[in-house]
Amino acid sequence: MMRFLEIFSNGDSQSLRISQKEIPKPNDDDVLIKVEYVGVNRIDILQKKGLYNSEKEDNDVLGVEVSGTIVNMGSKAYLYNPTLKEGMKVCALLSGGGYAEYVTANSSLCFKIEENFLTMEEAACMPEALFTIWKNLIMIGDMSLGSSILIHGGSSGIGTMAIKVANLFNAKPIIVTAGNDKKCSACIGIGADYAINYKKEDFVKKVMEMTNGEGVDIVLDMVGGEYLRKNISCLKYKGKIINIAFLDGAKSEIVIPEIMKKEAIITGSYLKSSPIDEKCSIACDLRSKLWPFINKGLLKPVIDSVYDFEKVEQAHERMENSMHIGKIVLSF
């Protein structure tokens, strides 16, 4: 048996409590990981509250990324990822189940950790952000040398890693928005060229000033709502708006001729429901293109705080109140 965090409904509110269940068994292409740390993501909170439409095959235990040790391997796991073996320290992208002492992971979505360059705490924060950024900024956004980019939620888990990856790709300028001056300074500290406190300044006006009236090639947005219309105003001719969330509203009113004038591309994606083949292909790209930087200590996440898993509700509260800068982690 193992301990895990179970979603517990108490009338109108949902919380998590420690419970016991069988240790999962790996399928042929899976490994079983003894979890050390799990990265906390907004989707965990949405799923806990029943606000995320999870797929039927999803795990009802929260947690989409972990670090830990491989303790068992399915009969074909080695074929799908020959770098793995029992006893190895890894991090993994999951479709759920990480808020537990043990979890199974598809072997193709596991990454060997060189602890000289990445601690196990840091490793637990990598998969969700790196997969999301690779899919959206590189595959969809075609970010490359000299791409100008606006990242909303610059101080978030995704935002802080996006700043770092955009720097590795020599995107310029990297402009971010964040909700207070402390968050803005932190974003500059990790490599943003400009940070706009959206509560004090009009971000459209600032972006146009910072780009000499041209606008940016790519906008990465997690806010939605009325930001969509504003994002179009920030866009360069033939630029792309990539939506990954809609924290401020799923609906937006836009003016169609403004899209036409700029030949703007408005797109977006969900990582969680992407086909497994695509996730495996992203994993290959990450292994060959980004892991060399990680294994030289040149790419690390920003860690905000680490909580014991028993204090999970405090960790979630910190995220819900947007107190954090970077990633929140639970230790098991």
The position carrying tokens 């391997």 is: 73
Alpha helices per DSSP H over the chain: 42-48, 77-80, 120-123, 126-133, 157-168, 181-189, 203-210, 227-234, 256-262, 276-285, 291-294, 312-320
Select from 25-33, 82-90, 93-101, 242-250 the region that touches ligand NAP (CB under 6 A): 242-250
Among residue numbers 172 through 211, which ones bind ligand NAP (CB under 6 A)?
178-179, 183
Q: Considering beta carbons, is residue 156 or 211 the nearer one to ligand NAP?
A: 156
Residue 85's SS3 state is coil
Is there binding between residue 245 and ligand NAP (CB under 6 A)?
Answer: yes
C-alpha to C-alpha distance for 215 and 235, rounded to whole angstroms: 5
Q: Considering beta carbons, is residue 26 or 122 the nearer one to ligand NAP?
A: 122
Total of residues contacting ligand NAP (CB under 6 A): 24
Select from 41-49, 54-62, 68-76, 113-121 the region that touches ligand NAP (CB under 6 A): 41-49
Among residue numbers 74 through 93, which ones bind ligand NAP (CB under 6 A)?
none
Q: Considering beta carbons, is residue 84 or 137 the nearer one to ligand NAP?
A: 137
**In the Cβ-directed half-sphere of 254, how many Cα atoms lie within 13 Å?**
20
Is there binding between residue 43 and ligand NAP (CB under 6 A)?
Answer: yes
Is there binding between residue 167 and ligand NAP (CB under 6 A)?
Answer: no
Binding mask 113-152 for ligand NAP (x = CB under 6 A): ---------------x---x--------------------
CB of 25 to ligand NAP, least distance (A): 28
CB of 282 to ligand NAP, least distance (A): 11
Counts of helices then strands in the chain (DSSP H, E):
12, 15
DSSP code string of 205-253: HHHHHHTTT--EEEEEES--TTHHHHHHHHEEEEEEEEE---TT-S---
Is there binding between residue 156 and ligand NAP (CB under 6 A)?
Answer: yes
Is there binding between residue 241 and ligand NAP (CB under 6 A)?
Answer: no
CB of 154 to ligand NAP, least distance (A): 7
Q: Phi and psi of 281, rounded to 5°?
A: -70, -40
State the DSSP H helix or E strand holding residue 266, giving kind and residue range, or none if neither. Answer: strand 265-268
Nearest to 191 by CA among 300, 305, 319: 300
Whether residue 329 contacts residue 124, with contact meaning beta carbons closer than 8 Å, is answered with yes
Interface ranges with ligand NAP (CB under 6 A): 41-43, 128, 132, 153, 155-158, 178-179, 183, 222-223, 244-245, 247-248, 269-271, 319, 322
